[in-house]
Amino acid sequence: MSRKSCPIMKRFSVLLLLLVPHLMAQTESALSYEQARQAVLTAEEELMTGGHTYLNTEEAKADDIFMQYKLGELAQGFRNAEQNAAAMHFFKAKQLIDRSGVFRFLQKMPKGAVLHLHNSASVSSKWVVKNMSYMPGMLRCTTDKGRSVLTFRRAPKEHECQSQYVRVSDERRSSIDPLVYDQNFERLINLYTPVPELEYPTITKVWDRFQDMFDTFGDAIRYLPAFRAYHWQMLEELYNDNVMYAEIRSSFKPLYDASGRTFSRERTIQEFYALNEKFVRLHPDFLGIKLIYAVYRGHDVDKISESFEEFRQLHKAFPNFVVGFDLVGQEDNGKPLYALLPALRDLPPTAHFFLHAGETNWFGASTDINLLDALLLNSTRIGHGYALAKHPILLNAVKTRQIAVEVSPISNQVLHLVWDMRNHPGAQYMALDVPLVICNDDPGFWNAKGLSYDFYYAIMSLAPNNAGLRVLKSLVWNSVRYSLLTEEEQKRAYQILELTWSRFIDKVLQGSVF
Predicted local confidence at residue 2, as pLDDT: 42
Across 393-403, b (16+ Cβ under 10 Å) vs e yields ebbebbeeeeb
Tens-place pLDDT, residues 233-288 = 999 999 999 999 999 999 999 999 999 899 999 999 999 999 999 999 999 999 99
Q: pLDDT category, 158, cuts 50, 70, 90?
A: confident
Residues 248 and 289 in one domain: yes
Give the residue from 174, 200, 226 where a domain finishes.
200
Q: Is residue 68 part of a domain?
A: no
* Residues forming beta bridges with residue 384, ordered by sequence position: 357
User: Would residue 158 show up in a list of annotated catalytic residues for this protein?
Assistant: no
Q: Give mean pLDDT, residues 153-170.
A: 88
Q: Is residue 47 part of a domain?
A: no
Predicted local confidence at residue 320, as pLDDT: 96
Q: Is residue 509 part of a domain?
A: no
Instruction: Report the alpha-carbon distance of residue 315 to residue 292 in Å, rounded.
Output: 10
Q: Give mean pLDDT, residues 336-353.
A: 96
Residues 389 and 496 in one domain: yes
Tens-place pLDDT, residues 366-413 = 999 999 999 999 999 999 999 999 999 999 999 999 999 999 999 999
Residues 111 and 147 in one domain: no
User: Would residue 359 show up in a list of annotated catalytic residues for this protein?
Assistant: yes
Residues 482 and 496 in one domain: yes
Residues 143 and 32 in one domain: no
* Residues forming beta bridges with residue 246, ordered by sequence position: 114, 289
Instruction: Report the alpha-carbon distance of residue 423 to residue 101 in Å, rounded.
Output: 23
Q: Which candidate, 216, 309, 238, places its Cα nearest to that of 454?
A: 238
Neighbouring residues of 230: CB distance < 8 A, sequence distance ≥ 6: 123, 128, 132, 221
Residues 246 and 259 in one domain: yes
Tens-place pLDDT, residues 474-488 = 999 999 999 999 999
Q: pTM for this structure?
A: 0.94
Instruction: Report the alpha-carbon distance of residue 87 to residue 79 in Å, rounded.
Output: 13
Give the residue from 182, 200, 218 where a domain finishes.
200
Residues 221 and 329 in one domain: yes
Q: Is residue 308 part of a domain?
A: yes
- List the CATH number of the domain containing 449: 3.20.20.140
Residues 232 and 113 in one domain: yes
Residues 131 and 256 in one domain: no
Q: pLDDT category, 499, cuts 50, 70, 90?
A: very high
Predicted local confidence at residue 399, as pLDDT: 96
Among candidate residues 59, 73, 247, 359, the one labeled active-site is 359
Q: Is residue 348 part of a domain?
A: yes
Predicted local confidence at residue 27, as pLDDT: 47
Residue 436, phi then psi, degrees to nearest 5: -145, 155
- Measured on CA atoms in the order 72, 450, 247, 356, is the torsion positive or negative? positive
Among candidate residues 384, 391, 416, 424, the one labeled active-site is 384
The total domain count for the chain is: 3
Q: Is residue 79 part of a domain?
A: no
Domain limits for position 11: 3-39
Q: Is residue 69 part of a domain?
A: no
Residues 419 and 287 in one domain: yes
Does 456 have pLDDT greater than 50? yes
Predicted local confidence at residue 3, as pLDDT: 41
Residues 192 and 243 in one domain: no
pLDDT, the chain, mean: 93
- Measured on CA atoms in the order 86, 92, 93, 96, is the torsion positive or negative? negative
Give the residue from 153, 168, 200 where a domain finishes.
200
Predicted local confidence at residue 30, as pLDDT: 62
Instruction: Kindly state the percentage of the chain with pLDDT values over 70.
Output: 94
Tens-place pLDDT, residues 3-19 = 444 554 455 555 555 55
Residues 192 and 306 in one domain: no
Q: pLDDT category, 21, cuts 50, 70, 90?
A: low
Does 332 have pLDDT greater than 70? yes
Does residue 328 sit in helix, strand or coil?
Answer: strand
Q: Is residue 269 part of a domain?
A: yes
